[in-house]
């Protein structure tokens, strides 16, 4: 069974090609290819709590200055923990759903695919501490699906 992405759960229409992209733009979770296949999601579809700039319930979540929502602002963390999709992920993935696992997964995916995210380069990500094994058993070198136009 396919795993739901946040935009499918919330039916926001802000995924690539979605009904609200023209008016509101694509959600950063739907375009964050470095997180593709994290916990079985498409791009950042199952990592929305860790991606800045998502726009949940008409509220901008996180900023580029805050790199990640949960560690930067307690009010934003409270928002995510009140989200039904966040709770579903916590229940399904248990301890595997963590910022640490997300960062390790993205780091390894960037290294294995030689992908870049804006100004973030692989040497900067090598500073992230932790084990070198990728999380959740997915292959971080798997390519993200092509963009829907």
Domain annotation covers residue 28: yes
Give residue 124's pLDDT: 45
Average pLDDT of the segment spanning 1-9 = 88
pLDDT band (50, 70, 90) for residue 140: low
pTM above 0.95, yes or no: no
Residue 135 maps to a domain: no
Question: Does residue 78 fall inside a structural domain?
Answer: yes
Q: Which domain holds residue 14?
A: 6-93
Structural domain includes residue 127: no
148 inside domain = no
Residue 6: is its pLDDT beyond 90? yes
25 falls within a domain: yes
Q: How far is CA 145 from CA 42, 47, 100, in A?
A: 8, 16, 25
Whether residue 7 contacts residue 30, with contact meaning beta carbons closer than 8 Å, is answered with: yes
The reply to whether 10 falls in a domain is yes
Greatest Cα pair distance, the chain, in angstroms, is 42
23 domain-assigned = yes
Contact 53, 28 (CB under 8 A): yes
Task: State the total domains in the chain.
Answer: 1
């Amino acid at each position: 069974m396919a795993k739901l992405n946040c935009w499918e759960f919330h039916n926001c229409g802000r995924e690539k090609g979605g009904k609200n992209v023209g008016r509101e733009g694509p959600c950063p979770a739907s375009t964050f290819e470095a997180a593709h296949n994290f916990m079985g999601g498409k791009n950042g579809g199952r990592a929305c709590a860790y991606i800045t700039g998502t726009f949940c319930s008409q509220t901008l979540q996180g900023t580029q200055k805050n790199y990640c929502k949960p560690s930067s602002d307690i009010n934003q963390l409270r928002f995510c923990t009140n989200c039904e999709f966040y709770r579903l992920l916590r229940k399904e993935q248990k301890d595997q759903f963590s910022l640490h696992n997300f960062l390790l997964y993205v780091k390894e995916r960037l290294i294995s695919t030689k992908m870049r995210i804006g100004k973030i380069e692989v040497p900067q990500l090598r500073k992230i501490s932790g084990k070198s094994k990728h999380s959740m058993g997915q292959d971080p070198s798997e390519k993200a699906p092509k963009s829907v136009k």
